[in-house]
Amino acid sequence: MQKEIRKIQELDLRGKRVFVRVDFNVPLKHDGDKWVVTDSKRIEGALETIRHVIASEGKCILASHLGRPKGKRDSKYSLEPVGAKLSELLGKDVILTDDCIGDGAKSLSLRMRNGDVLLLENLRFHEGEEENSPDFVAKLLELTDVYVNDAFGTMHRAHASTVGLPKMVPQRGAGFLVQKELQYLSKLRELPERPFMLIMGGAKISDKISILEHFLPKVDKVFIGGAMAYAFLKSQGHSIGKSLCDEKQEQLASKILKIADARRVKILLPVDHVMARSLKDVAGMKTTENTEIPNDFLGVDVGPKTLELFKSELDGAKTIFWNGPMGVFEQPEFAKGTFELARIIAETAALKLAGGGDSAAAISQSGSDSKFDFISTGGGATLEFLEGREFAGLKVLEFRKTGDA
Ligand code: AMP
């Protein structure tokens, strides 16, 4: 029997307490005596679903984690600044509970009027969330008539709010953001239009190796930048100086190069680099003449010749997926390669998708986000989905096509 994910549009929300698992794990900074949200993209991403609950006359109860408070209340990880930002974006009051479970939250939920929005305090202030403990699930259930998950980035984890709770709620489905993630990422995973070009960067090669392996049979070219590239260059015998790379990574890179060669997939690596004596040595940064990096330097970004090469090789692509920065883009002087690549991709006629790790932040900082067709909100989850892994948080939302659970 074929299964499908039920959608929020198919649920009856009127007068119901709709528990919406969102991903409000946003960056914060300390400003004077309070914390403020520095990037509200994830909050904006949930607005369509929240507005739908309001318009359907449901009672919207939002739940999220923020940071890693390790099962204890910690004001540094309070969702209070998120509530303030959400209220500003929605143009309406958002009530924040002191705790995500307990009598206070329950009685507030029961007093809600249709169209009200309640934000529960950080789920991870309780160990039961990550442990998926039955007691914690039972407490969340006291607040829930209908369950919606709109937090794609958390669906690969079997936590109380992503798996334990929805199992107990017959009326459950996926929010608009999750639907959009599935639409684009499934297409990319199953049937990308070719030529399909994959661009990978960032530092954690071990996290990305299985995605490379998954895509090698259906990709036409792979572009590699960021710290990952040094493992590939080293395995080809180039000098990489003090650049980030260990032996295991070099072995993984060498394995990928062999598979790519056998499958006739072209792998493009940097042909020049921005380098410095250390990550702090901004003043001493230099651009190499060619692929080689001298012993006392480390690579911090791709160079201009690499960008030219990548630009010309991307020409004609029908699908591009980009994951991971080309350099240490958090340092403005080392961000040029990443930002410039975002602009190069933005100018192509391909279906332009990005996701995972820092890519969304980098694209947004480069000012090219509106030109991308879709930027996935998930970090590790996006990569795991593309590798073909099954998500516990998605499976729990599946129904047989003909009828009920
Ligand atoms: P990832 O989470 O694997 O996508 O890696 C992202 C991180 O890779 C960012 O924090 C970058 O600063 C880092 N990164 C990218 N290029 C380099 C490099 N050349 N050397 C050190 N770190 C890098």
The yes-or-no verdict on residue 154 having pLDDT over 90 is yes
242 lines ligand 1 (CB under 6 A): no
With 0-12 / 13-18 / 19 or more C-beta atoms within 10 angstroms meaning exposed / middle / buried, residue 128 is: buried
Output the average pLDDT for the chain.
94
Ligand 1 nearest atom to the CA of residue 225, by list position: 16
pLDDT per residue as tens digits for the range 66-85: 999 999 999 999 999 999 99
pLDDT per residue as tens digits for the range 282-313: 999 999 999 999 999 999 999 999 999 999 99
Per-residue confidence band for 402, with pLDDT thresholds at 50, 70 and 90: low
Under CATH, domain 3-178 is a member of which superfamily?
Phosphoglycerate kinase, N-terminal domain (3.40.50.1260)
CA distances from 378 to 37, 131, 172 (A): 18, 21, 21
Lookup: tokens for 317: 């692509």
The yes-or-no verdict on residue 401 having pLDDT over 80 is no
Under CATH, domain 191-386 is a member of which superfamily?
Phosphoglycerate kinase, N-terminal domain (3.40.50.1260)
358 lines ligand 1 (CB under 6 A): yes
Mutate to test the pocket of ligand 1, among 208, 339, 358, 376 (most ligand atoms within 8 A of CB): 358
60 lines ligand 1 (CB under 6 A): no
164 lines ligand 1 (CB under 6 A): no
Per-residue confidence band for 207, with pLDDT thresholds at 50, 70 and 90: confident
How many Å lie between the centroid of ligand 1 and the Cα of residue 34? 30
- In percent, the amount of the chain with pLDDT more than 90 equals 85
Lookup: tokens for 248: 């295991």
The yes-or-no verdict on residue 357 having pLDDT over 80 is no
The segment with the largest mean pLDDT, out of 1-15, 37-51, 101-115, 354-368, is 101-115
Per-residue confidence band for 405, with pLDDT thresholds at 50, 70 and 90: very low
pLDDT number for residue 51: 98
pLDDT per residue as tens digits for the range 228-280: 999 999 999 999 999 989 899 999 999 999 999 999 999 999 999 999 999 99
Average pLDDT for residues 78-99, to the nearest whole number?
Answer: 98
How many Å lie between the centroid of ligand 1 and the Cα of residue 204? 8
pLDDT number for residue 135: 98
CA distance 152 to 140: 20
For atom 7 of ligand 1, which residue has the closest CA?
A: 202
pLDDT number for residue 2: 66
How many Å lie between the centroid of ligand 1 and the Cα of residue 203? 4
CA distances from 231 to 3, 224, 241, 266 (A): 42, 10, 12, 17
Per-residue confidence band for 3, with pLDDT thresholds at 50, 70 and 90: confident
Beta bridge mates, 319 = 196, 351
Q: Which residues are catalytic?
A: 42, 204, 357, 380
Conformational region of residue 202, where left means phi above 0, alpha means psi within -120 to 50, and beta covers everything else? left
pLDDT per residue as tens digits for the range 166-188: 999 999 999 999 999 999 999 99
Residues 6+ apart with CB under 8 A from 258: none
pLDDT per residue as tens digits for the range 119-150: 999 999 999 999 999 999 999 999 999 999 99
The yes-or-no verdict on residue 365 having pLDDT over 80 is yes
Per-residue confidence band for 206, with pLDDT thresholds at 50, 70 and 90: confident
227 lines ligand 1 (CB under 6 A): yes
Q: Is the peptide bond before 195 cis (omega within 30 degrees of 0)?
A: yes
How many Å lie between the centroid of ligand 1 and the Cα of residue 43? 25
276 lines ligand 1 (CB under 6 A): no
Where does the chain hold its CATH 3.40.50.1260 domain(s)?
Answer: 3-178, 191-386
327 lines ligand 1 (CB under 6 A): yes
How many Å lie between the centroid of ligand 1 and the Cα of residue 328? 5
Given a contact cutoff of 8 angstroms between Cβ atoms, the answer to whether 11 and 171 are in contact is: yes
Closest CA to 53 of 21, 12, 107: 12
The yes-or-no verdict on residue 404 having pLDDT over 70 is no
CA distances from 28 to 104, 152, 332 (A): 26, 21, 19
